[in-house]
Amino acid sequence: MSTVMQKIKDIEDEMAKTQKNKATAHHLGLLKAKLAKLRRELLEPTTKGGGGAGEGFDVTKSGDARVGLVGFPSVGKSTLLNKLTGTFSEVASYEFTTLTCIPGVITYRGARIQLLDLPGIIEGAKDGKGRGRQVISTARTCNCILIVLDAIKPITHKRLIEKELEGFGIRLNKEPPNMTFRKKEKGGINFTSTVANTNLDLDTVKAICSEYKIHNADVSLRFDATADDLIDVIEGSRKYIPCIYAVNKIDQISLEELEILDKLPHYSPVSAHLEWNLDGLLDKIWEYLNLTRIYTKPKGLNPDYEDPVILSSRRKTVEDFCCRIHKDMLKQFKYALVWGSSAKHKPQRVGKEHELEDEDVVQIIKKV
């Protein structure tokens, strides 16, 4: 492990010394590919056995979505969890009070959202220091990440946490790169682009591919991609997760400082201790989770508005709705009646490919 760490440090040092320009782009691309491979080695334990993931880290996924609270020690993650969910996570003014992963559940707008209070991250977690490895591995399973920052401590913490998460292949508030990468049997590296490219050329692409022992592939870009984007696509294990920055302890800063914080993107200022703006934070979590609520309507009865079926925004067809209720439902499915914004008229008779919208009402008609 220490040799891998040393190699990572050497490459990072060399990248810091190398000037960024067109002549060195090829060399930097190669270094980035090597770095990504070494990071992956750190993440994958070499032995099959090992001591397990550590107490409290194998938290069973429950509810409709999962939100992880990530941050440095003593920024108020546990207080925030306690106030939002009523779960008890030990709180103290010294650092590293929370040593395992504490789950709590909130019911918000009919959806059950699991909140995880993860132990404090320390700098260098991506290189295996502290419990960082387990913390960030758990963060990878979340639907949304809540980075808790301290309003009194500098915003430099934000950059450090982002760097740690990016080192583990988590991309915050980003979309997957719009490019296709396809391996083939022969024909060498074929590189095409529909836009003018300022960062990548054929030599850099070949160098990065050869680092992964790929000598035949089609690479086509539909945007101005960087070497990092290409490495992300080749690695294929990147997680694209929406992220909110909850700036805690705003009761200890001035109004002018608060106004500056308010202009930053993806931010939500809160005071967990005094319960300021917790509703605003929950609204933002809901917006970033992008969930779809579907109400069921039994035949001859009124719709059940108390207990919606929750679907993700990416998978919200009538088929997904049926699978969410019971996997055998599709076998008896004849058609569905839909009321709501996705229906052209009320009710609309639809098949299982129909895309549903938030707060639609659905009645399933079964085969007789």
Question: pLDDT digit string (tens) for 114-128?
Answer: 888 777 665 555 555
Burial of residue 220 (number of CB atoms within 10 Å: 0-12, 13-18, 19+): middle
100 or 221, which is more confident:
221
Q: What is the pLDDT of residues 54-74, one digit of tens each?
A: 444 567 777 888 998 888 877
- Mean per-residue pLDDT, 138-161: 83
What is the predicted pLDDT for the residue at 53? 44
**CATH code of domain 291-366:** 3.10.20.30
Q: Is 291 helix (H, G, I), strand (E, B) or coil?
A: strand
Measured distance CA(294)–CA(318) in Å, rounded: 10
Residue 168 has pLDDT above 70, yes or no: yes
Residues sharing a CB contact under 8 Å with residue 267, sequence separation 6 or more, in sequence order? 244, 245, 247, 261
Residue 294 has pLDDT above 80, yes or no: yes
pTM of the model: 0.76
Q: Is 106 helix (H, G, I), strand (E, B) or coil?
A: strand
Q: Lowest mean pLDDT of 9-13, 42-46, 259-263, 308-312, name the range.
A: 42-46
Average confidence score pLDDT of the chain: 81
Q: Is 238 helix (H, G, I), strand (E, B) or coil?
A: coil
What is the predicted pLDDT for the residue at 350? 92
Residues sharing a CB contact under 8 Å with residue 140, sequence separation 6 or more, in sequence order? 168, 169, 170, 239, 241
Q: Which of these, 248, 240, 314, lies nearest to 275 by C-alpha position?
A: 248
| b/e map 331-359, b = 16+ CB within 10 Å | eebebbbbbbebbeeeeeebebebebebb
Sign of CA dihedral 277, 121, 158, 43: negative
342 or 96, which is more confident:
342
Measured distance CA(147)–CA(88) in Å, rounded: 20
Residue with tokens 């990071």: 39
Cite the residue boundaries of each domain of the chain with CATH code 3.10.20.30: 291-366
Residue 133 has pLDDT above 80, yes or no: no
What is the predicted pLDDT for the residue at 295? 93
Q: Lowest mean pLDDT of 21-25, 128-132, 344-348, name the range.
A: 128-132
SS3 content of the chain, % helix, strand, coil (to 5): 35, 25, 40
Q: Which of these, 99, 95, 53, 55, lies nearest to 72 by C-alpha position?
A: 95
What is the predicted pLDDT for the residue at 368? 79
Residue 131 has pLDDT above 70, yes or no: no
Residue 155 has pLDDT above 80, yes or no: no
What is the predicted pLDDT for the residue at 51? 44
Measured distance CA(25)–CA(27) in Å, rounded: 6
What is the predicted pLDDT for the residue at 49? 45
Peptide bond into 103 cis (omega under 30): no
**pLDDT tier at 47, thresholds 50, 70, 90:** very low
What is the predicted pLDDT for the residue at 64? 86
Residue 166 has pLDDT above 60, yes or no: yes
99 or 240, which is more confident:
240
Give the rounded distance of the alpha carbon of 366 from its chain centre.
37
Cite the residue boundaries of each domain of the chain with CATH code 3.40.50.300: 65-173+239-289
What is the predicted pLDDT for the residue at 45? 55
Helices marked H in 142-185: 156-167
What is the predicted pLDDT for the residue at 7? 85
What is the predicted pLDDT for the residue at 44? 65
- Mean per-residue pLDDT, 141-164: 84
Residue 213 has pLDDT above 60, yes or no: yes
CATH topology for 65-173+239-289?
Rossmann fold (3.40.50)
